[in-house]
């Protein structure tokens, strides 16, 4: 299995986080490391921390430190208290990042993730672990009584949500033209300086998302050797550390090549085949871009053009265009996007069918004009 930069980053973050945890959580993480990714475990332990802090804040456990919460407190936790915790989670609100006066409630999927996290921990403590004479930490599992509310949506409904948040028709082309020719017009002198420095790199990033449909962590882990100009392909590391090869549009390859021509001079970066492709110049040294840095680049340009979008929305845009151009070739879409289930790829078929419906209506308008 290939080890990505993101994998190493979450291993380090997980290692720092478990220092705050009780011994039984440390043991849980150690036993799960071979079957769960560091990202999943980090998110789980972060959920445990929120749960433990709630237990202390509500006076259910009397201690001044999460590390000192005894396992017996979980054994004796009442069903009412468990339900109250998930009510607390589901009623939390957060600010919409680009709207100062707007808040949203946590969605059902996020609440379900909190439930899954704690169900995993309690199952480990009551079934999977052995601490004394072949017995687990305790036997009463209150979290097994907590139902997970299934989120039900049709493919059409999910596809409609995607359509509302991506570039449709030729807007992806218009967006790239805007970044290339119009974005700089409204910049201050200081902003212009950074834009001129990074424009080839940033444009190559935007073009690559829209010309290949790769994920943000797949992009940040690209090395120079992963670009095959003659084969018009790039090698990526998928979820689970699996290596894969995907096609890339010729125009995106050209944009990558334009970036590579200036990469060494601007960022003082080496050109060895194992060097990271996308880098920044920081404190006199080249450093690979993080996922967050790439997300911020995408946010900046998309917000200026139309609406704030994530790299994942650019991936959705590419997938929808691919579905339309290939008349909904599901195996091809699955291979290109690294999907393991066909129902995910079907989302983009439904999205492209919406485009076809609108096109049919426009064609019908021509007929109506003739009568």
Residue with tokens 């609440």: 111
Catalytic residue among 113, 160, 300, 312: 312
Q: What is the 3-state secondary structure (H, E, C) of 55-75?
A: HHHCCCCCCCCHHHCCHHHHH
86, 142 in Cβ contact below 8 A?
A: no
> Can 348 be counted among the known catalytic residues?
yes
106, 94 in Cβ contact below 8 A?
A: yes
**3 state SS of 105:** strand
Structure tokens that stand for 86 in this block: 């998930």
- Report d(CA 363, CA 360) in Å as an integer: 5
> Can 10 be counted among the known catalytic residues?
no
Catalytic residue among 95, 140, 196, 239: 239
- CB neighbours of 273 closer than 8 A, spacing ≥ 6? 223, 224, 225
138, 74 in Cβ contact below 8 A?
A: yes
310, 257 in Cβ contact below 8 A?
A: no
- Report d(CA 208, CA 318) in Å as an integer: 10
> Can 36 be counted among the known catalytic residues?
no
Query: CB neighbours (10 Å) of residue 19?
Result: 8
Question: What one-character-per-residue DSSP string does 144-167 give?
Answer: GGSPPPP----HHHHHHHHHHHS-
The partner residues of 286 in beta bridges, in order of sequence, read 281
Catalytic residue among 114, 238, 313, 315: 315
> Can 292 be counted among the known catalytic residues?
no
Residues in the chain: 371
Catalytic residue among 115, 215, 313, 316: 215
The conformation of residue 138, written as its DSSP 8-state character, comes to -
Closest CA to 180 of 70, 275, 301: 301
Which positions are annotated as active-site residues? 215, 239, 312, 315, 339, 348
């Amino acid at each position: 299995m290939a080890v990505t930069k993101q994998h190493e980053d979450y291993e380090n973050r997980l290692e720092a986080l478990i220092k705050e945890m009780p011994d039984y959580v440390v043991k849980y993480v150690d036993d799960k490391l071979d079957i769960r990714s560091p990202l999943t475990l980090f998110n789980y332990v972060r959920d445990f921390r929120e749960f433990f802090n709630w237990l202390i804040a509500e006076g259910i456990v009397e201690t001044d430190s999460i590390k000192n919460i005894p396992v017996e407190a979980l054994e004796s936790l009442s069903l009412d208290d468990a339900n109250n915790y998930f009510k607390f989670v589901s009623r939390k609100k957060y600010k919409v990042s680009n709207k100062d006066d707007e808040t949203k409630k946590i969605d059902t999927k996020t609440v379900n993730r909190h439930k899954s996290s704690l169900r995993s921990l309690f199952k480990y403590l009551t079934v999977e672990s052995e601490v004394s004479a072949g017995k687990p930490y305790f036997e009463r599992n209150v979290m097994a009584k907590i139902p997970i509310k299934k989120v039900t949506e049709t493919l059409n409904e999910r596809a409609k949500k995607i359509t509302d948040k991506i570039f449709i028709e030729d807007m992806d082309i218009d967006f790239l033209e805007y970044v290339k020719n119009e974005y700089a017009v409204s910049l201050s002198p200081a902003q212009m300086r950074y834009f001129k420095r990074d424009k080839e790199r940033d444009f190559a990033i935007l073009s690559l998302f829209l010309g290949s449909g790769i994920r943000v962590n797949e992009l940040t882990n690209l090395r120079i050797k992963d670009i095959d100009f003659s084969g018009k392909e790039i090698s990526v590391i998928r979820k689970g550390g699996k290596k894969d090869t995907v096609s890339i549009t010729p125009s995106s390859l050209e944009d990558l090549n334009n970036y590579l021509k200036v990469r060494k001079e601007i960022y003082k970066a080496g050109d060895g085949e194992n060097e990271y492709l996308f880098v920044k110049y920081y404190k006199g040294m080249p450093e690979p871009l993080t996922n967050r840095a790439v997300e911020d680049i995408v946010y900046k340009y998309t917000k200026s053009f139309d609406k704030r979008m994530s790299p994942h929305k650019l991936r959705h845009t590419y997938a929808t265009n691919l579905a339309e151009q290939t008349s909904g070739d599901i195996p091809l879409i699955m291979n290109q996007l690294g999907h393991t289930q066909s129902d995910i790829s079907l989302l983009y078929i439904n999205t492209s069918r919406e485009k076809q419906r609108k096109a049919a209506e426009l064609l019908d308008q021509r007929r109506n004009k003739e009568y």
